[in-house]
Structure 1
Amino acid sequence: RLNGKVERSHGTDQREFYQLLTYKDNVDLNAKLAEWEAFYNYHRPHGRLGGKTPYERLVEKMR
């Protein structure tokens, strides 16, 4: 069950990040990865979460 979620996440990373990625060096790559992670978790709506971000879903679960 978790494996499917991880595979879906990897597919999204590939389509929406890695295929569009250009970088100068490892420092630039790490900065872009951090930006992508923040966007993915805090700003990008997820269909499987009812259009909520992972962070919004986490906050709901913690209440």
Structure 2
Amino acid sequence: MTNEERDIQRKLKVLQHAEKIGNVRKACRYFGIGRSSFYRWRDAYQKHGEAGLKNAKSIPKNLANQTPAEIVEKVLYLRRKYHLGPIRIVWYLARYHGIKISDAGVYRILKRNGLNRLPRGTRMR
């Protein structure tokens, strides 16, 4: 049984226990959950059945202020090809491509792609 199935079974137990004893407050206290969670689970169960009890991510799939893909590609190319650091990448993009991005933004892109550390043995210029 996976963690997801275990969570669904636990939520079903809470819902069934509340139905059996007829008191939501006591059932929530017995299982150590908040009533808002209980009511959210109950509404999802009534609308979608067991599929509604799955844990869903609460974040949007497309972030509004995400760095465009072409800028990310340029940053990664500069790091892989020339082993530039975040500040030099910012300088290069501003000078030759007219792209404004912060060094913290460049660092986050590099870290997200596992390139935040330069390879060992790379000489400083």
TM range (shorter): 0.3 to 0.5
Structure 2 length normalisation: TM-score? 0.18
Structure 1 length normalisation: TM-score? 0.35
Q: Which has the larger radius of gyration?
A: 2
Decide which structure has greater helix share: 1
